[in-house]
Amino acid sequence: MKGKFITIEGIDGSGKSTVIKYINNYLGKLGYDIILTREPGGTEISENIREIIVNKKIDIKTEALLFAASRREHVVNKIIPALKNNKIIISDRFLDSSIAYQVYGRGLKKEDILYINNFAIEGLTPDFTIYLDVDIDVASSRLRNRLVNNVLDNENKKFYNNVKKGYVELLKKYNNRICVVDANKDQECVKEIVIKKIQEKFKEWQIN
Ligand code: TYD
């Protein structure tokens, strides 16, 4: 496949959405043909699955299966066609999220999560991943300021600490693919760093 698949990862409140919008505007103005997408979601069916996952209290294994099902739909109907068309596709989350959240956060077995996801994605791996690393307290205060339901209350801090441990393990294992960016810095600074990292990758890939 000729295109490139980039993913952005991080805990809730790490600033992924802001950074992704900025990347899209910036690279769009430079004339790059970018497709933005997200998980869970990205296609009509996957967005329907997202509604179920984010709005309902759900059994953790059912949830893990729904993430995998939504991912399959996303891979088959959006990511692979984009890559075949030589596009650069940037996704807000991918498989690393299931390892960090379902395995390290929820405590499901890693081999089970890998098994259902391998069945779903058949080996598709991002070409490059940026992990926005943020302290739990910084993420929590950002979510408070956004006046959204603060998912990072005290009860959940342990959960997010575990999710972060998952990302640290992924970073160690896939240090060639995953690049970490300190997302505690102010958002302008984080955006600049991320753009720089992506442009370095484009150079390496000889994309002009
Ligand atoms: P996200 O869209 O990043 O959250 P937001 O609504 O704040 O933009 O992701 C929704 C939630 O789903 C988030 O808490 C992380 C979780 N998630 C998993 O647990 N596993 C997964 O595989 C994915 C893709 C997301």
Is 15 labelled as part of a ligand binding site? yes
Q: What is the pLDDT of residue 147?
A: 56
How far away, in angstroms, is 207 Cα from ligand 1 center? 30
* Beta partners for residue 88, in sequence order: 4, 34
12 is in an annotated binding site: yes
Please indicate if the annotation marks 11 as binding a ligand: yes
Note if the pTM is more than 0.85.
yes
Calculate ∠ Cα 134-137-139, nearest 5°.
50
Contact 161/136 with Cβ under 8 angstroms?
yes
> Tell me: the pLDDT tens digits for 101-140?
999 999 999 999 999 999 999 899 999 999 999 999 999 8
Please say if the pLDDT value at position 205 is more than 80: yes
Residue 153: pLDDT band (50, 70, 90) is: low
Atom of ligand 1 nearest to the CA of 106: 19
Ligand 1 residue neighbourhood (C-beta within 6 Å): 12, 17, 38-40, 54, 67, 92-93, 97-98, 101-102
pLDDT at 141: 85
- Tell me the two tokens of residue 22: 């900025």
Q: How many beta carbons lie within 10 A of that of residue 8, not counting itself?
A: 28
The pLDDT value given to residue 155: 56
β-strand pairing of 4-9 with 34-38: unpaired
166 labelled ligand-binding: no
pLDDT tens digits, residue range 39-95?
A: 999 999 999 999 999 888 899 999 999 999 999 999 999 999 999 999 999 999 999
Q: Measured from the CA of 105, which atom of ligand 1 is nearest?
A: 19
